[in-house]
Amino acid sequence: MADHGTNPGINPRLHSALRHLDLRIVRRLEGMLHGEHLGLRLGPGSESAEARQYQPGEDDVRLMDWAVTARTTQPHVRDLVADRELESWSLVDMSASMDFGTANQEKRDLAVGALAAVNVLTQRVGDRFGAHILHRGQIRRWPARSGKAALLAMLSTVAAAPRGEPLNEPATTLSDAVTDLARARTRRGLRVVISDFLETPPTANAHEPAPWERGMRQLAIRNQVLAVEVVDPRELDLPDVGLVTMQDPETGRIREVQLNRKVRQRYREASAAQRAAVRGGLRRCGVPHLVLRTDRDWITDMARFVVEQRRTAHRLARHTPAVPR
C-alpha cells in the first residue's frame, strides 16, 4: 500500500473546524501546563528544563543551577530536555468500531483530537510527524512532514475518512497494524497508538497476552511509545431499556437482546475484564496508557496525564545513577 501524500479535496468547513480544534487545544493546554509542552519527551539535550535538588554522586556538577542554589541555599541542578529532531509516527484506528459514540462525541472524533493534541505537545522546529491509518481493513500511510500546514492536512485526511463498512473478508487487524508500524518505521522516535483496543477479546484476563502485545513490544524496544485508549460509556455499561436491536459494526451482524439485570451484569463483567486485559498488556510492554472518554473533558485528562508523566520522568532521572564520563 503506497503512501498517501495528497489532500483529497477536503471540505473547507472540516478544515476550519480542525483549525478551531487546534487553537482550542493550544489555548487549553497553555492554561494547564506551565512552560513549553515537553512532557512527552524528556531526555539528554542542551535546553534547560526544571531545577531539582542536587544528588551527590549521581548528578553532573556541570549542570549546577547557581541562581536557584543561591536563592534556596541548597545545591540544585537543572535537568535538560532533548533538543534533537524528533520523528513521530501515530497509528490511528479508524475501523468501524470507532464510528460509535453515545455521549458528547464519537470515538473517531476523539481520536482525531488526541492525534492533534499529541502533535501539539511534541512538535518543535524541524520535527516531523506521520501517520498510519487503519481504515476499512487496510493501512493507509501519511508520510512524515513538519509544520502546522502539514499537521492540519494530516488531521483533515484522517477526519475525512469515510465511515467504516462491515467487511465480509479477512482484513488487517490492529495487531497487524502495530506490527507493520514497528517494521516500517525503524528510525528512533515517538510512536503513538490511538485505538479502542476492542480487538482484545472480552474473555481475556489481565495475565493473558493481548493479540497486539507482540507488536507493541517491538515498538517499545527502540522508541518511546504512548497508547491512547478511546472509550465510550456504553462500552462499559448498558441501560435498563428492555429489548433492543444491536449491530456489530465490524461484521454487520444484527441480534436482538433483552437487557435484563443478568445480561447487564455479565456485560459489565466482560467489559471490566477486557479493560483489565488492555491495561495488563500495555503494562507488560512498558507502555504509558492514557484513557480518553467521550463523556469527559478529554483535554483536561490529557493535561493531567502529561503532568504525571513529567513527574515520573523527573523521579526516574533523580534515582538513575549518572553514567561515568
Residues 140 and 234 reside in one and the same domain: yes
Q: Which of 34, 230, 26, 235 is nearest to 123 (CA)?
A: 26
Residues 26 and 63 reside in one and the same domain: no
Asked if residue 312 belongs to a domain, the reply is no
Average pLDDT over residues 161-172: 71
Asked if residue 42 belongs to a domain, the reply is no
Asked if residue 320 belongs to a domain, the reply is no
**What whole-number distance in Å separates Cα of residue 55 and Cα of residue 75?**
9
Residues 52 and 108 reside in one and the same domain: no
Sheet holding 87-93, edge to edge: 138-145, 128-135, 87-93, 190-195, 224-231, 289-293
Average pLDDT over residues 127-148: 89
The pTM assigned to this predicted structure is 0.77
Compute, in degrees rounded to 10, the torsion defined by CA atoms 6, 9, 121, 44.
0
Q: Is the pLDDT confidence value at 164 over 80?
A: no
Q: How many domains does the chain have?
A: 2
Asked if residue 59 belongs to a domain, the reply is yes
Residues 265 and 230 reside in one and the same domain: yes
Q: Which domain holds residue 53?
A: 47-81
204 three-class SS: coil
Q: Are 14 and 159 in contact (CB under 8 A)?
A: yes
Residues 53 and 187 reside in one and the same domain: no
Q: Which residue would you say has higher pLDDT here, 76 or 43?
A: 76
Q: Is the pLDDT confidence value at 316 over 70?
A: no
